[in-house]
Structure formats: structure tokens, C-alpha cells
Structure 1
Amino acid sequence: MRTLTTRTAVAAATGALALAGVLGTAGTAAAAPDGTSRTAGAVFSDPTLPPVFGSRKVWKTVNHRLLPSGDGRIIGKLYAGVSYPVSCWKYGESVTAEGTTNNVWILARNGSGVWGYSSAIYFSGDKYANLPASAKC
């Protein structure tokens, strides 16, 4: 059995946290909201990452898109009953579904860690998924 020095143990723990996505390290590649990759600094101080205003639950499975439009490329799905990290809301194409019309789209991070838009109709809360007015993209 090998004994780790304090410095080695700290380095190993930091590396494990970075791999788990808890910490960022300078020079690591990260996905931007538009799906491109870029070099990121520390996750908590990177001004290019969208701020997270908590999470919001989706009450019905919905397409997750690159743009706030029904014509936007589908990048995945947000699944009913699951809460997703959300950043902001944006006006986009009007959607009529479930007896409601709304042109608000929510920027959310899907289960794969990719940021994209879904109609606010499918999020719990008000027409802005209970995001504050200051959270406009």
C-alpha cells in the first residue's frame, strides 16, 4: 500500500472534483450555449458561462433547441418531472400548446450539460417559469 503525501492527496482530490465538474481548471474545454467549445477558466469565475438562477421543473417532455424557435435545431429533450438548471428567459417565436400561447423561451441546461432553449409553456411556474424580470437573456 502506498502512502500519499498531503500535496499528492490534495492534487488527487482537486483532479477528481474537476473531472466531476465541481471545479473548473484553466485550459479545460467547455461547451458554450451555442454548442461550440471554448477554453474556460474556473467554472465559478468564468464570465462566459450563463449564470444559473436555480432549477425549474418541466411538467411535460419538451424538445430542447439551439434557438428560441420551433425551427431551431433540436439538441435533445427535457423530460417531464425533472428539474433542470436555468439561466434566463428570452422572447422568441410564439408557441401555442396545452391551451396556452406564449413567446417566452427558457435557457436551460439539459442532462448532457448542453445549454439550449425550450418553450416556457412546459416549465412549472408563471409565463417566465418564475424567473425574475432581471433574468432576461
Structure 2
Amino acid sequence: MTLYPYIDISRYMDTKHALIAFDALSQPTRLAIFRRLVKVGPAGLPAGEIAEALNGRQNTISTHLAALARSGLIVSEREGRTIRYSANFKAAGDLVAFLLEDCCGGRPEVCAPLVTNLACLQQSAMEPCCD
């Protein structure tokens, strides 16, 4: 059960919704939260663990989590007294696709470095890639 209503940017991606998502990511703590949730994968993290990992006050982190949830970039689920947050990978992917929709005007050779970098995201973050 999702606790926060959010904009489903994966269904309605347009400039307005992309700007809402980018606005949510334009604050350092929210960007750090989103990156941490992406790193841990679909299992996500409880709000308290997110606050602890970022050395943030729980009420402040909750405000940031709510902003990210409203943007559609993260989702939340209640587990008893705990709220677990995870990245909405479909929405994040659709946001990247929105940015790259008309990449290089149909010239794949120009987009090759970008595609290679995106492919490297599937590798472990600890391993160097795409040199």
C-alpha cells in the first residue's frame, strides 16, 4: 500500500512532470536519499535507516522522503510501525528516457558513449568501467 499519493511520471512524462522530478532531486539531501535507495535496490530501506545513514534528523528526512514520494521517484510501504521506502526504478528510467528521447538526432555513433555509460550502471559500483 502506497502511503503518499504521487505523480506517476512513468505514465505522464512530459516537461511539467520531468521538472517536478528534477525539482525533487535538486536538493542535496533528497538527491543523497534517492541515490542510496537506488543503491540498495528494490528492497528499499526503512525511514529510520535512511536517517541514520545520512546522519539526519528523522523529521527532516521524513520531509525529504515525502517530497520524493510526491514526485513519483520513490514509493513507500508500511510494515507495521515502520515505513519502508524504495526507488521507483520505472519512473527513474522514464525520466532518463525523457531526457534522451531525441538523442543525437538519430545519429547512434554520437550517442555511443552515453549508451556505454548507461550500460555500465548494471555493473558493480565498486568496479571501474567504461574507460
TM range (shorter): under 0.3
TM-score, normalised with respect to structure 1: 0.23
Structure (1/2) with the larger helix percentage: 2
Say which one has the larger Rg: 1
Structure (1/2) with the larger strand percentage: 1
TM-score, normalised with respect to structure 2: 0.23
Higher relative contact order (CA 8 A, sep 6+): 2
